[in-house]
Structure 1
């Protein structure tokens, strides 16, 4: 353990008895003067904000089906493209979110200010939102489609940001429990206990389990999670903190191609538990729709074990001056399993071994950091300055575990063996980021302006512990990344807003970054490599009255040094990736939102999105020109529409929602696309109120994919490729069929 992380861990765990919840001051204070107006449960248009923002409050979060991913909760917001191959959006292999043409690895994510990295499945710098916190114990979910706050602790937010805020402990003691059951044997339980407030101290602990069998194939998802949250207030400030411990095993769904989907159908999956057929296919004895050893495999899964915690101090040094200090620490141990046939192995199986091996992807990460900021109120000016430091160590490896003849070996454990190693790399990343910001008002508070800049210096040094992948150091540095935004209230419920921001992406460590190529490719690339950079401009107008909220935002994004990761082989083979700088990308579009609520019992939400994102340059691949200029950015639908109507009659509330997602490409030259689709869902909730010693009881029924639509959800489970003329690239995951769930929720 480094000298930095030793005192950091001691400080963190010594303070665990005072663990408390706190929102990220860097973002909260910025938006304090621009509190979005909340229409019942969700601030759809962000009234008074200087940029395009939305907010889901606690009540709206509680109305979601328990177990729903925070990212899926945002799917109807304008500009949000979200897909998953199961109804809760928690399958980490398939879940994807993008905003305005920026994919999930180009956005920023935080939990109470703690950086969560770039949301990549193989992330070497963070934690999946799915594992970051239990949904029922979230208090707020903030979305910024374009310009995230300067104080956001992220080096990947070329596009927008998603910020999770944990729920405050209750001031009164109590217990909440719920249980959910549903299609295909789904089971989930949740319990939370609050101790109430005692001389400024309050806290809760909560736990969750989920067993979610797959809707096709064998096995499923299993997750066990424990969280703790506490708060201590006194006249001179606040001590806050959180802790999260999670254990997750996720059985994957089979990656399909257009060709295999046509030959084998919607429910084609891994072969488990049929071991003999897997052996036959590995030996070239095909049956059914299978025509090659890579059409399907025996099985595949992922295991993740995480512990993350943070302590934050807010110290009121004077009436006008506040100091914020927040150390954090995160440890992740994980492994991915994939049964590979002998034709995909880098060695010949020994006598007595099966013609199949278990491919192991080893993940180990430890990271610690600290965020500091000062806030000073000087007349009408709210001044902020902050600094974020993180030290991260990440190791990734691929190896193959031999399997004796006679049957498969367990996928429910982490193997600490490195036989038949394909590659092994260690990444050491130092992150330093700083910002300065001023918020002020003019013209009798009708004009609000916030502006400032941030800078960062992020150095990643990769060491190839074994041949097969690249070594070397890359630094992403910029001392001036400006942001300015304004809001002007016209009167009569009308207002305008505008913002401009420049952002830069750090180089991504791990399986999908520049180091995922071989050494020769990396050496040639690194001489001319530049960090990805974006310039986001947006202009909008809002109107709000007693029954209507509406917003129209127009945006333009110029993106330089766009790096493409090209996967040249089947995913299980794990050959080195190809990396290409395709130069510039431009995205422009519009986002429209309107919410009509004529009475307390009726609410109708609608959003429409148009996004035109195109590559502006061609690129060379081995001296061959690849014609990407003018082509649409992969996985970037041009049109999206969403609508949801809810009606409450007495103690019962009914909802009906729909989302249309337009066509998407999964090849850079646009020779293969996936058609658009529309999904409907419905829900019915009955609030039974107090029943004896039970303070409140609620029964909910929800149905996803109401019409049973067959569609392709994820189109990059194995990344993207330059061209796929025969439709054989296996990177597609189909969406889940209609499913229903019943929840009983009680508080004591």
Structure 2
């Protein structure tokens, strides 16, 4: 079929709105770290007497690895619209590229120590949130901020039990609030810039009769105009949780989350587009015949449900069992505008001899909605046994995960005003061939089966020194069907990763700790690397099962201090990658095609640090920083030649990042600020294009009204997002091998292609009234 560059550009964004993550409870996590110590009660207690941290940005940690966190005290002072990526922006190593001040759009990114979000595992209450096919997570679909108790960011070592297959870049874990023990109602209302309107309501049951059960359910509704260009976003969300505790530490929970949204995709400019149009680089606000850039064509609807059922059982004074079952269901569409003709179409490699019916066609051509739809199911379980025997705490467990993903690129008619017949992209409403088959540029179904096991031992060598050693084995199996006519039908990929690890923790005294760890991680090739793609009846991308697992060995050594008024951590880290996998765009016969490249070896090392100072009660200052040295180790194979990339900077890996935050809370007035600076970022393997460093600043001020109206907690706060409103590119949306034509090692000229970027969001004001009853 005939296709325009609009379709090719949309291909680069196809899965940003199709998150099929899950929600369940953190009790399933295998304790490779401080949690192992808790199993036998041997963890060294740290008691801090001084000014408590009102900021919630440096909770006390005892794990033998780099780990940062934000807690309720920080989260509740931020704009309630912010998603989890935006909330962790101040933490060491976190580089958040957000195109939307309210965190609603899927056009955003998180990198950690220079590693992209498809290499960062994301858990919500212990269950994987990453897309089963492409490994990206979508924070706009996570739980409402009011229900999040803590967000933990592990910059390097991933917990041994974590159910992720893309943890080379670290781990982001969200922990939900427990149902309250007494009945209560919480209501929030927010108004803000760009017609932002949000309501949130939560009801806690308290203990239900004498059953020991308690529960909460919440609902939120959020609407905001696009801050740039035409369009608006809608989001409805439900969180619910019921739990019971009994005996000496037994606990069972059932959690449910539902998300339904229609959010806008912001166009990502090339550097030339940014220089020419700046923030005016947007989709069209009105529709005229033949226009494929109308904003309604780039508005993504999606719907997701998550269920989890974690159980923690104390079988004896030495033995515990943890098991978490999770289920996920999701459907969504990431559409774009394009044109079709009644004749000259293809289906895979088959040329259609009969014309297709195109409503609204003029001279045989019609503007249509191109759909990228995904329907996913995912279910799994993580189970472990923990046994304490003298100086040893032994843990072992199994992980099983089954996923089904059906992806279709179809086309839907639009009316004369540019309104799609069906924005959800259901196949029943899509355009069909003359003989009744679905007209599709992509139609594939993949089944993914993951099986893993893990063993760990925590050994108390002395009362202050502990050694942890563990091994994890993970097998990833992809089986798929390509339904399009052509040379490819079934696809298959099977790989196994062996992941040993070790860590040391030394408690110098009640305030100081030393830690060190060596960890292995991997990233299995995503399912889309397996399939052929077709353009105008010919293969435009060759599917392969020859890609190897990306494998990394990382090490850290650090010092942690927890004092009465001052706390901090500093850590040195080093990574060595084999088969570094990077998603990029390749130029194939003039068509830009999404592909994954094996970039060979990469070495990264650097320093992370964070410090929190509490000079007086109610006042806190926080600072973080990172130095990163990330270099490619090999020349890159491109178009039958080698691109001279050895020694070049790794893409999206700023050398320097700094964060500075502060909070004041005197029980009546409160406020906070968050300043973040990100250094220059390269967007090509050849380092022939980059974006400049930039800084953002967020502020909040508020008043606690409890005692003035009644004794119920009542807060009013004003949040200012991106106060200084810099006009900047905030990150790399799509990397390329080289932006300029480059002569390869073999003497051929390798054509360049332009990277694309996120445009940093504009300034926004949000006023929130929150009240508890």
Residue equivalent to 2:384: 373
Aligned length: 702
Tell me by how many angstroms 1:235 deviates: 1.5
SS at match of 2:736: coil
Contact between 1:387 and 1:434, CA under 8 Å: does it hold in 2?
A: yes
Residue equivalent to 1:150: 160
Q: Structure 2 vs 1, CA of residues 64 and 298 (structure 1 numbering), >3 Å: closer, same or farther?
A: closer
SS at match of 2:141: helix
Q: Structure 2 vs 1, CA of residues 467 and 40 (structure 1 numbering), >3 Å: closer, same or farther?
A: farther
Residue equivalent to 2:737: 722
Q: Structure 2 vs 1, CA of residues 20 and 143 (structure 1 numbering), >3 Å: closer, same or farther?
A: closer
Please give the alpha-carbon distance, in whole angstroms, between the structure 2 residues aligned to 1:569 and 1:344.
28
Residue equivalent to 1:395: 406
After superposing the two structures, state which structure 1 stretch, 596-605 or 688-697, moved more: 688-697
Q: Structure 2 vs 1, CA of residues 698 and 412 (structure 1 numbering), >3 Å: closer, same or farther?
A: farther
> Which digits, 9 at most, give the CA deviation of each residue in 1:227-275, with x for residues without a partner?
2101112227222120011111111112211111222232221003x21
Contact between 1:22 and 1:240, CA under 8 Å: does it hold in 2?
A: no
SS at match of 1:59: helix
Residue equivalent to 1:672: 689
Residue equivalent to 1:113: 126
Residue equivalent to 1:743: 768
Residue equivalent to 1:533: 551
Residue equivalent to 2:35: 29
Tell me by how many angstroms 1:178 deviates: 0.2
Residue equivalent to 1:214: 226
Residue equivalent to 2:172: 162
SS at match of 1:689: coil
Residue equivalent to 2:75: 61
Tell me by how many angstroms 1:503 deviates: 1.1
Residue equivalent to 2:116: 103
Contact between 1:591 and 1:609, CA under 8 Å: does it hold in 2?
A: yes
Please give the alpha-carbon distance, in whole angstroms, between the structure 1 residues aligned to 2:167 and 2:135.
13
Matches within 5 A, 1:403-418: 403=414, 405=416, 407-409=418-420, 412-417=423-428, 418=430
Please give the alpha-carbon distance, in whole angstroms, between the structure 2 residues aligned to 1:344 and 1:189.
47
SS at match of 1:42: coil
After superposing the two structures, state which structure 1 stretch, 346-355 or 170-179, moved more: 346-355
Q: Structure 2 vs 1, CA of residues 146 and 461 (structure 1 numbering), >3 Å: closer, same or farther?
A: same
Tell me by how many angstroms 1:408 deviates: 3.6
After superposing the two structures, state which structure 1 stretch, 423-432 or 612-621, moved more: 612-621
Please give the alpha-carbon distance, in whole angstroms, between the structure 2 residues aligned to 1:263 and 1:343.
32
SS at match of 1:695: coil
Please give the alpha-carbon distance, in whole angstroms, between the structure 1 residues aligned to 2:591 and 2:336.
11
Q: Structure 2 vs 1, CA of residues 31 and 109 (structure 1 numbering), >3 Å: closer, same or farther?
A: farther
Pick 1 or 2: higher relative contact order, CA cutoff 8 A, min separation 6: 2
Please give the alpha-carbon distance, in whole angstroms, between the structure 1 residues aligned to 2:761 and 2:57.
30
After superposing the two structures, state which structure 1 stretch, 40-49 or 617-626, moved more: 40-49
Contact between 1:46 and 1:52, CA under 8 Å: does it hold in 2?
A: no
Partner of residue 234 from structure 1, selected from 246, 250, 261: 246
Residue equivalent to 1:638: 655
Please give the alpha-carbon distance, in whole angstroms, between the structure 1 residues aligned to 2:722 and 2:260.
29
Q: Structure 2 vs 1, CA of residues 405 and 134 (structure 1 numbering), >3 Å: closer, same or farther?
A: closer
After superposing the two structures, state which structure 1 stretch, 202-211 or 622-631, moved more: 622-631
SS at match of 1:262: helix
Tell me by how many angstroms 1:558 deviates: 0.5
After superposing the two structures, state which structure 1 stretch, 53-62 or 696-705, moved more: 53-62
After superposing the two structures, state which structure 1 stretch, 647-656 or 299-308, moved more: 647-656
Verify: 1:442 aligned to 2:449, yes or no: no
Q: Structure 2 vs 1, CA of residues 134 and 585 (structure 1 numbering), >3 Å: closer, same or farther?
A: same
Q: Structure 2 vs 1, CA of residues 176 and 75 (structure 1 numbering), >3 Å: closer, same or farther?
A: same
Residue equivalent to 1:333: 331
Please give the alpha-carbon distance, in whole angstroms, between the structure 1 residues aligned to 2:119 and 2:136.
13
Q: Structure 2 vs 1, CA of residues 514 and 659 (structure 1 numbering), >3 Å: closer, same or farther?
A: farther
Please give the alpha-carbon distance, in whole angstroms, between the structure 2 residues aligned to 1:382 and 1:460.
35
Partner of residue 654 from structure 1, selected from 671, 675, 686: 671
Please give the alpha-carbon distance, in whole angstroms, between the structure 1 residues aligned to 2:697 and 2:301.
32
Contact between 1:257 and 1:728, CA under 8 Å: does it hold in 2?
A: no
Residue equivalent to 1:562: 580
Please give the alpha-carbon distance, in whole angstroms, between the structure 1 residues aligned to 2:225 and 2:365.
28
Q: Structure 2 vs 1, CA of residues 102 and 439 (structure 1 numbering), >3 Å: closer, same or farther?
A: same
Please give the alpha-carbon distance, in whole angstroms, between the structure 2 residues aligned to 1:456 and 1:530.
14
Contact between 1:541 and 1:551, CA under 8 Å: does it hold in 2?
A: yes
Residue equivalent to 1:51: 65
Q: Structure 2 vs 1, CA of residues 298 and 87 (structure 1 numbering), >3 Å: closer, same or farther?
A: closer
Tell me by how many angstroms 1:602 deviates: 1.7
Please give the alpha-carbon distance, in whole angstroms, between the structure 2 residues aligned to 1:709 and 1:31.
46
SS at match of 2:335: strand
Please give the alpha-carbon distance, in whole angstroms, between the structure 2 residues aligned to 1:728 and 1:35.
56
Residue equivalent to 1:10: none
Residue equivalent to 1:309: 307
Contact between 1:46 and 1:54, CA under 8 Å: does it hold in 2?
A: no
Residue equivalent to 1:487: 505
Q: Structure 2 vs 1, CA of residues 149 and 362 (structure 1 numbering), >3 Å: closer, same or farther?
A: same
TM-score, normalised with respect to structure 1: 0.88
> Which digits, 9 at most, give the CA deviation of each residue in 1:44-63, with x for residues without a partner?
37543211111222222222
Partner of residue 151 from structure 2, selected from 127, 137, 141: 141
> Which digits, 9 at most, give the CA deviation of each residue in 1:106-150, with x for residues without a partner?
0111111111125xxx95568633313121111221111000110
Contact between 2:183 and 2:205, CA under 8 Å: does it hold in 1?
A: yes
SS at match of 1:679: strand
Please give the alpha-carbon distance, in whole angstroms, between the structure 1 residues aligned to 2:176 and 2:697.
29
Residue equivalent to 1:429: 448
Tell me by how many angstroms 1:404 deviates: 5.1
Contact between 1:255 and 1:730, CA under 8 Å: does it hold in 2?
A: no
Please give the alpha-carbon distance, in whole angstroms, between the structure 2 residues aligned to 1:640 and 1:146.
17
Tell me by how many angstroms 1:565 deviates: 2.8
Q: Structure 2 vs 1, CA of residues 415 and 620 (structure 1 numbering), >3 Å: closer, same or farther?
A: same
> Which digits, 9 at most, give the CA deviation of each residue in 1:527-561, with x for residues without a partner?
4x311111110111123322111221100000110
Residue equivalent to 1:515: 531
SS at match of 1:732: strand
Please give the alpha-carbon distance, in whole angstroms, between the structure 2 residues aligned to 1:414 and 1:569.
28
Verify: 1:174 aligned to 2:184, yes or no: yes
Q: Structure 2 vs 1, CA of residues 88 and 34 (structure 1 numbering), >3 Å: closer, same or farther?
A: farther
Contact between 1:470 and 1:522, CA under 8 Å: does it hold in 2?
A: no
RMSD over aligned CA atoms reads 2.9
Residue equivalent to 1:291: none
Tell me by how many angstroms 1:729 deviates: 3.1
Residue equivalent to 2:720: 703
Please give the alpha-carbon distance, in whole angstroms, between the structure 1 residues aligned to 2:45 and 2:130.
27
Please give the alpha-carbon distance, in whole angstroms, between the structure 2 residues aligned to 1:129 and 1:335.
17
Contact between 1:637 and 1:662, CA under 8 Å: does it hold in 2?
A: yes
Tell me by how many angstroms 1:514 deviates: 4.5
Residue equivalent to 1:12: none
Tell me by how many angstroms 1:477 deviates: 0.2
Please give the alpha-carbon distance, in whole angstroms, between the structure 1 residues aligned to 2:398 and 2:104.
32
Please give the alpha-carbon distance, in whole angstroms, between the structure 1 residues aligned to 2:37 and 2:191.
39
Residue equivalent to 2:479: 461
> Which digits, 9 at most, give the CA deviation of each residue in 1:194-227, with x for residues without a partner?
0102331110111111102101222221111112
Residue equivalent to 1:84: 98
Please give the alpha-carbon distance, in whole angstroms, between the structure 2 residues aligned to 1:730 and 1:697.
48
Contact between 1:363 and 1:397, CA under 8 Å: does it hold in 2?
A: yes
Contact between 1:694 and 1:746, CA under 8 Å: does it hold in 2?
A: no
SS at match of 1:168: coil
Residue equivalent to 1:287: none
Tell me by how many angstroms 1:412 deviates: 4.5
Contact between 1:433 and 1:455, CA under 8 Å: does it hold in 2?
A: yes
Residue segments in structure 1 that go unaligned for 5+ positions in a row? 1-18, 283-293
Residue segments in structure 2 that go unaligned for 5+ positions in a row? 1-22, 346-354, 432-438, 742-751
